[in-house]
Structure 1
Amino acid sequence: MTTVATLPATGTVITQASAIPTSALPSLTSGIAAAPLPAVQPETNHSMAAPVGGTGSGSLFLPVIAGMTGIIIVVIGGIFLRRWWIRKQNMALFRKYD
């Protein structure tokens, strides 16, 4: 065995085992046919065109306004429904006396 390197910090000696003949080791590539690798094409999809959707700076405005409008409609509808229900339950309280 021949010394390949010595690590100075630990004093470990790295050796090469040259005493083992390579014919004694099993061949890892026996029976495997080497297939040719496909040619790799470089990515050439570079477009200088602007995105189709625009910049997107005003895309949040419309959904926020629509959501706020929907909430307002539901709240006003709830107020009217509550007033109707109270009047229906006790009509005597809301009778007009001349």
Structure 2
Amino acid sequence: MITSVLPAVRDESRDDLITGWALAARGGDSDAFDLFVRALHPDVRRHVRFLGADHQGAEDLTQDTFVLTKGPGSRYMRQRASATAPPEPCGHASPAP
């Protein structure tokens, strides 16, 4: 089980710390990535449980979430997905007569 490195209280300084770790992790700092995961893991797991996953499913999905953010292809995958996604409709289509 991963334990959080931050108190449960939400405040601006907590958000600033997490943002700093995320930026450092993006630059390749593995210690910052570890702190980032430890800080957000309980929140992500709680959200996944809220969405309906059982305990083990929530653990697996939470782990997968962080593995995908750390993976070497994560930035590529985001860019690729946005480049190949079909355009969003800009309004409601009228039913065909």
TM-score by length of 1: 0.19
Higher strand share: 1
Higher helix share: 2
TM-score by length of 2: 0.19
Which gives a bigger RCO, structure 1 or 2 (Cα 8 Å, sep 6+)? 2
Please tell me whether Structure 1 or Structure 2 has the larger radius of gyration of its CA atoms: 1
